Structure 1
Amino acid sequence: MRQEMQAMLEATIKNTITDQLKTIHNQCTGFTESIAYVSTQYEDLRNQIVDLKKLLGSTSSELKCLKVENKTLRGDLSACMTRVKALEDENMKQQQWVRLQNLEITGIPEDKNESTSELVLKVTKHIGVNIEPYELEFAHRVQPRRAESAARARSIIVRLRERVVKDRIIAAARKHRAITAKDMGIGSESNKIYVNEHLTKDSKMLLNSCKQKAKEVNYKYTWTKNCRIYVRKNETSPAIPINSSADLIKIA
């Protein structure tokens, strides 16, 4: 009896140990599978990180290339803008150069039967410069013609055959700033007549800007000579040439 009980106890212990070992084995198998899964996930993550690093490196290289390209393009754009500005300035100079022998007379009333050449000769005679008709290359109103009811007469553009004659007329006109159409017997209007150099549209805009800036800082003189713009603070100060809007900072 005692032997049977001992055998049963041993069997029970053996079965218990066996069951526990199976449980431990199963747990170890689970741990192994978990470790394998984690290892796989880690490897995948590591590969993703490697890929991301490669992508980041490629993106960084592309970014550097783009920065270099952008810098180059900015330099090219700046050079182009400088070139365009130089061409615009040169074009303006050329347009102004062909006007060196021209005058622009404003304030003369219009008449459909008028002779612009005769009107010009009357103006020059009135200011003390006698010229012959052949000294005028042409004289015409600016285009287009305004409506009959327009309050302001169109300017007359005059081209002299010699620049020295134009200069004489300009010098005389500056001494006769108060002449009117009525003074010369070419109308009853009392509006003033002005004789100036024939400036381009851009030069006129620049001249107006100069006058405004000069007025703001109490500069006394603003004028043109040979279609170039000058300012002077007073009688004793030097003349300052204004060639572009960038030169306006000189008026201070």
Structure 2
Amino acid sequence: MFSCSSCGLQHSDGPVCSLCKNRYDFGCAGVTEAGFRKLGDRRNNWRCPKCKAGPSLSPTPNSPAVSQMDNILEQLNYINLQLAPLASLMEDIKSIKSDVNSLKSSLEMAHESINQFSSTIKSLESRVAKAEEMVNDVPRLREELIKLNQELDVRDQWARSNNVEIRGIPQKNNEDLYDLTQRIGNKCNFPIKKEDINYIARVPTRVPNVEKPIIVSFNNRYIKENFVSSSRKTRLSVSDLGFASTGYCYVNDHLTQRNKVLLSKAKSLAKNNNFKYIWVKHSKIMARKSDTSPIFFIRCEKDLVRII
């Protein structure tokens, strides 16, 4: 350990001036330890900053002779030692500059991505707003759809107001449906003329393994109503019409599929709730709990609540 001639602090190592023989730590000597080691044999001629700055650069009786050229070279070496860190500093500056350019490019890309993301968000917000408006319109549109379906069904049922549906008649090849309808009318004491009928045909049914019903369209709604009324007064079996099979023939209003489902539900509820009458007249479903109860119409699902 030694005391630095400049700061007076204790140090373990440092250069010794070849002129004044004072010893300094590397910091006070103005040289790095690595730089000092690189001097090699020239370390013996190293001078401290004070001796370099003093007037006595010429040889003294107590020091080795040092030529003017050596002094210049030593000063250049000292300057080189001071400038040595600049190379590393320049590399660091280049690296920092490259990082800054990279960061700038990343920021530009991020800014562009943010703009695109912002545009997407605005588009989504617009679509969500439209969706919310549509959601708010759903109840109204549902009500309008129900109303339109009801109106269509009413019109469809009105178009069938001259029709009757005959069920239970066995189907045969080359059958004469006009003659069959006339036979039903004769058995019900309501004769039917061929010119009273607009058209007649069997139609498919959704119920499997059931004979196709016969649809008869009359030219006059009143003839149709009287035909239905007369057939209901007569319990007509298929054997009465000349068929070998058993069973009964049923003549009813030609209801739409919606009204058929509604009639079936009404009958099921009436059976479970002691409702005495569920019937169809003029293609309208009617209900009555007892002989003294008021009559009401069943036009839609909501009306079924009155049977419960």
Instruction: State which structure, 1 or 2, has the greater radius of gyration over its C-alpha atoms.
Output: 2
Asked if 1:198 is matched to 2:254, the reply is yes
The CA deviation at 1:66 is 3.3
Write the deviation string for residues 85-118 of structure 1: whole angstroms up to 9, x where unpaired. Answer: 6655444333321221222222234564651342
Equivalent pairs counted in the alignment come to 239
Q: Distance in 2 between matches of 1:36 and 1:153?
A: 93
Write the deviation string for residues 117-171 of structure 1: whole angstroms up to 9, x where unpaired. Answer: 421322321xxxx446378334634158xxxxxx865433334444344334434
Q: Distance in 1 between matches of 2:96 and 2:74?
A: 32
C-alpha distance 218-242 of structure 1, shift in aligned 2 (>3 A): farther
The CA deviation at 1:194 is 0.8
In structure 2, the gaps of 5 or more residues are: 1-60
Q: Distance in 2 between matches of 1:59 and 1:139?
A: 63
Equivalent in 228, 234, 250 of residue 284 of structure 2: 228
Structure 1 segment 61-140 matched on structure 2, within 5 A: 61-68=122-129, 70=131, 88-109=149-170, 112=174, 114=176, 115-125=179-189, 130-131=190-191, 133=193, 136-138=196-198, 140=200
Structure 1 segment 237-248 matched on structure 2, within 5 A: 239-243=296-300
SS in 2 for 1:242: coil
Equivalent in 238, 242, 245 of residue 181 of structure 1: 238
Whose RCO is larger (CA < 8 A, sep 6+)? 1
Specify the alignment match of 2:92 in structure 1: 31
C-alpha distance 168-57 of structure 1, shift in aligned 2 (>3 A): same
Q: Distance in 1 between matches of 2:144 and 2:218?
A: 34
Specify the alignment match of 2:221 in structure 1: 163
State the Cα RMSD in Å: 4.2
Write the deviation string for residues 56-91 of structure 1: whole angstroms up to 9, x where unpaired. Answer: 122222223333455577789998887776655444
SS in 2 for 1:53: helix
The TM-score normalised by the length of structure 1 is 0.68
Specify the alignment match of 1:50 in structure 2: 111
**1:197–1:224 Cα contact (<8 Å) kept:** yes
Q: Distance in 2 between matches of 1:208 and 1:12?
A: 120
Q: Distance in 2 between matches of 1:249 and 1:4?
A: 128
C-alpha distance 61-247 of structure 1, shift in aligned 2 (>3 A): farther
Q: Distance in 1 between matches of 2:74 and 2:175?
A: 140
